[in-house]
Structure 1
Amino acid sequence: MIKIDAMMVCLDLSDIDEKLVAFSRTICERMQVGKVYFVHNIKLYELGDDFREMFGDVDLAQEVEGNINDIVDEQFANKTAYEVLVSEEPNTEVILADLVKRYNIKLTLLGKKMSTKSTGSLGTKLLRILPCSVLVFPETASFNIQKVLVPIDFSDTSVHALRLSKNLSDQLGLQLEIMHVYRLPSQFFPLISEEKAVRKAEEVVKGKFADLQKRHNEIAGIPYTLVRAANKSIAERISLHLEKGRHDLLVLGLKGNNPLPSLSLGSVPTEMYNTDINVPLWLVYSEEVIK
């Protein structure tokens, strides 16, 4: 059973906040969550002189905290313990990473606007710096989750994401599908036929699945789909399969094994985050990686 001792919900005082708070309520209703922290950081240096002249010495943090409490009272209404935290720091990523460590946060809920409304730059930075798993909730996503898709590449990272997805599906009665996107070494065409190459590639991948199922008996019965990347990226193929299969949640593993933060996510999770998908995206770290 998946237990979340502490969850952090990042709010930005925009329209998506109400959806995030309501979605956090749904998570608490369906999973064991110890405590929820609703957080917002005020960047005082971004406030212009006009603001200061107009409002003077108003306690902005207190006003923001009151606004968040109003949203939480209206949308959360849950027995789960919660706390509202408002800070005034110049660097939002750093203060949020500090909160994760201070309160032993296991999961951070992060809202995401469509690319036409936001660059998503802060979200990308948070994914690279937060030492915990992140659940990204697009503004167009639904709260109703029934089908889960977990793409794997047979790495330890993706196997961890798969096992977590299996536990989640068993716990909540969800439908789970595994996906693997493969590429063919096109530089060898036309030395060998494309049909033969596809057949051989799928044979190799099926062998990997059989070996994986032997090592992890709990995933033996989960259906899996093999998809050739062809002229598209892996992330593009995942997006197409999400839409075709009408999945409600995408789970991807985060590598986190590179000392350079800019290289720690992996290209597929980064590209998927920057894609306008309409389902929540759960980017998971294993406990070993976080440590």
Structure 2
Amino acid sequence: MITIDAMMVCLDLSELDDKLIAFSRSVCERLQVRKVYFVHNIKLYELADEFREMLGDLDLSQEVEGNIADLVAEQFGNITDHEILVSQEPNTEVILANLVRRYNIKLTLLGKTMSDKRTGAQGTKLLRILPCSVLVCPETASFNLRKVLVPIDFSDTSLHALRLSKALTDQLGLELEILHVYRLPTQFFPLISEEEAIRKAVEVVKGKFADLQRRHPEIAGVPYTLVRAANKTIAERIALHQEKGHHDLLVLGLRSMNALPALSLGSVAADVYNSDVGVPLWLVYPEEPARK
């Protein structure tokens, strides 16, 4: 049974909030979520001086909290314990990271507007700084989950995502597929034949899968697919395979925090997040947000 002790839902007072709150309800209906925090940070410094004067003595935090409370009542109801947190801090990413630590958040929900590059840029910053798993809900996402795709590269990070994917699909009765995208060392062509390189690459990867199945018998029956990157990036191949296979959820491993935040996300995870993938994307932080 997957249990999430605390989940954070990041709101920005846009039209996407309705869908994100409804999506959080869908998560709570499927998984055991003990508490949900709906959060918003007001950046007063972004307001024009004239607008600040118009506000006068108005308690903006109270007004925003009331607005969020109305949306939560409409889209979320009382499905589980929840709380609304509104802050006024200059740096949204830092305050959200602090909330994750303060309330021991295990999963953060982010909305993503496909056509808004600003939304994507801020989301990338959050992925780099938040010390928890992140579930991204694009505006085009459907709540009807049937098929899950988990790309792996055999690293501990991706195997961690695979374990969560298996637990999730077992619990909800979903289909799971494992994907591995491989590259060929093209700098050695034509010294070696491309056909032989492909044969050898597939042989090596199949050996890795066989070893993985021996070490983790619970995934022995999960189908896997090998795809060559060829003239595409790994993220592009993942997106193409997801679209072709009509998968409803993508699960990727998220690297843990380290001394260099710029290196903590992982290029593939960042590229997939910044792509036009229109299904929910679960980025799994190494500290497992689920318990079996």
| Helix, strand or coil at the partner of 1:118 | helix
* Equivalent AA in structure 2 for residue 192 of structure 1: I
**In 2, Cα distance between the equivalents of 1:249 and 1:288?**
18
Aligned position for 2:140: 140
Deviation digits for residues 29-84 of structure 1, max 9, x if unmatched? 11000000000000111111111222211100000000000000000023300000
Aligned position for 1:176: 176
**Are the counterparts in 1 of residues 25 and 79 from structure 2 also a CA contact under 8 Å?**
no
**Cα RMSD between the aligned structures?**
1.3
**Are the counterparts in 2 of residues 65 and 84 from structure 1 also a CA contact under 8 Å?**
yes
1:259 Cα shift?
1.9
What is the TM-score with the length of structure 1 in the denominator? 0.97
* Equivalent AA in structure 2 for residue 286 of structure 1: P
Aligned position for 1:201: 201
Deviation digits for residues 152-206 of structure 1, max 9, x if unmatched? 0000000010010000000011100000000111122112221111111101000
| Helix, strand or coil at the partner of 1:104 | coil
**In 2, Cα distance between the equivalents of 1:116 and 1:93?**
18
Moved more, 254-263 or 240-249: 254-263
Aligned position for 2:270: 270
User: Judging changes above 3 Å, is the alpha-carbon distance between structure 1 residues 117 and 259 closer, same or farther for their aligned structure 2 residues?
Assistant: closer
1:285 Cα shift?
1.0
The alignment-based identity, stated in percent, is: 78
- Runs of 4+ deviating beyond 4 Å: none
| Helix, strand or coil at the partner of 2:58 | coil
User: Judging changes above 3 Å, is the alpha-carbon distance between structure 1 residues 100 and 116 closer, same or farther for their aligned structure 2 residues?
Assistant: closer
1:243 correspondence with 2:246: no
**Are the counterparts in 2 of residues 251 and 281 from structure 1 also a CA contact under 8 Å?**
yes
* Equivalent AA in structure 2 for residue 100 of structure 1: V
**In 2, Cα distance between the equivalents of 1:261 and 1:61?**
31
Moved more, 192-201 or 95-104: 192-201
* Equivalent AA in structure 2 for residue 280 of structure 1: P
**In 2, Cα distance between the equivalents of 1:41 and 1:148?**
33
**Are the counterparts in 1 of residues 256 and 286 from structure 2 also a CA contact under 8 Å?**
no
**Are the counterparts in 2 of residues 25 and 78 from structure 1 also a CA contact under 8 Å?**
no
- Please list every run of 5 or more consecutive structure 2 residues that lacks an aligned counterpart in the other structure: none
What is the TM-score with the length of structure 2 in the denominator? 0.96
1:150 correspondence with 2:153: no
Within 5 Å, give how 1:227-238 maps onto structure 2.
227-238=227-238
**In 1, Cα distance between the equivalents of 2:257 and 2:102?**
22
**In 1, Cα distance between the equivalents of 2:141 and 2:205?**
32
| Helix, strand or coil at the partner of 1:166 | helix
Aligned position for 2:101: 101
**Are the counterparts in 1 of residues 7 and 109 from structure 2 also a CA contact under 8 Å?**
yes
**In 2, Cα distance between the equivalents of 1:176 and 1:269?**
19
* Equivalent AA in structure 1 for residue 249 of structure 2: L
User: Judging changes above 3 Å, is the alpha-carbon distance between structure 1 residues 119 and 13 closer, same or farther for their aligned structure 2 residues?
Assistant: closer
